[in-house]
Amino acid sequence: MVHAVLVLILFIVWLKVDRHPPYVDNTLVASRNPIGEAIQGIKLLLQPANFGQFLILAAMLTYFIGFAGFDAMFPIYGVETLGLTEGRAAFILTTFAGSFLIFALLAGFIGTKIGKIPAMLIGLAIFPALLLLAIPVRSPLIISAIFVFAGFAWVLILKNWPARFEQKKME
């Protein structure tokens, strides 16, 4: 019953919403040379004036690849090394995601108070330190506590990461 009501609301909104508002340019712009434009954009990013943006993008790419590995491999590590059940290992990983959601408002507040870039740098420093701290630990409870703080560090990074690009647009 609830699903039917939601689908009905979605259908009504879909019918009523203006899909072509006047402030949106809906003209299709086809690129004649998308690879060339991408290479030109990379060259622009590697110029000394924009090199800081490149470093932040490279750090974010590295962190996302690392996080994907962490997310995929921790349940296996929990089962094989810590002797946990698959469900318990997944639950411990969920403490990370839960703390990410809980601390999102606080991370935004911290970014506003001390600046987005300093908040992001604090998260970039704390996150790997906490994961390295968790390596020798064999207690699921202590690992969960470490993951709560790691989730906070991760949200400091993600909540504040567009700051460098916003700052560059204003200059």
Question: So where are the chain's domains?
Answer: 51-170
Q: What is the pLDDT of residue 25?
A: 65
* pLDDT tens digits, 13-47: 878 776 666 666 666 677 788 888 889 988 988 89
**Taking the mean position of all CA atoms in its chain, how far away is CA 123?**
12
Element (H, E) at 86: helix 86-102
Confidence at residue 165, expressed as pLDDT on a 0 to 100 scale: 52
Contact 121, 157 (CB under 8 A): no
43-102: pLDDT as tens digits: 988 899 888 888 878 887 888 898 899 899 999 999 999 999 999 999 999 999 899 999
Q: What is the DSSP secondary-structure string of 91-127? A: HHHHHHHHHHHHTHHHHHHHHHHH-HHHHHHHHHHHH
Mean of the per-residue pLDDT values of the chain: 85
| Residues in Cβ contact with 134 at an 8 Å cutoff, skipping those fewer than 6 apart | 143, 146, 147, 150
Q: For residue 88, what are its two tokens?
A: 């318990």
Amino acid identity of residue 38, one-letter, is A
The overall pTM is greater than 0.85: no
pLDDT given at position 74: 92
pLDDT in tens, 127-137: 999 999 999 99
Residue 146 has pLDDT above 70, yes or no: yes
Question: C-alpha angle with apex 87: 81 to 88, nearest 5 degrees?
Answer: 55
Higher pLDDT pick, 116 / 160: 116
Q: Give the sign of the dihedral formed by CA 89, CA 91, CA 92, CA 97.
A: positive
Q: Tell me how long the chain is.
A: 171
